[in-house]
Amino acid sequence: MAVVSVNTAWCKGCRICAAFCPKKTLEVNREGKAFQARPDDCVRCGMCALYCPDLAISVALPPAGDTTRQEARA
């Protein structure tokens, strides 16, 4: 399951999301659209969604009681 969802209709391929991702999980494909290349490395910080000028990115919240991602941030 992808942690980060990209609305490809809205994404213009500016690469801002990839530049701000602290774990470098985002890349741009051949069509010039962002995608999450390494979802297991994502820490759900939300930087990609925060800086996306087109509001094309959303970040899934961890399931209730899931501490896996919180431990990865420490």
4-61 pLDDT, tens digit per residue, is 999 999 999 999 999 999 999 999 999 999 999 999 999 899 999 999 999 999 998 7
Q: How far apart are CA 8 and CA 5, in angstroms?
A: 9
**Can you list the domains of the chain with their CATH numbers?**
4-61 (3.30.70.20)
Write out the two tokens for 51: 């800086």
Q: Distance between CA 14 and CA 69 in Å, rounded?
A: 27
What residues does 35 pair with on adjacent strands? 27
Q: Decide if 42 contacts 2 (C-beta within 8 A).
A: no
Would you state the pLDDT for residue 71? Answer: 44
Q: Can you give the pTM of this predicted structure?
A: 0.76
Report how far residue 66's alpha carbon sits from residue 48's, in angstroms, rounded to the nearest whole number: 21
Q: What confidence score (pLDDT) does residue 25 get?
A: 94
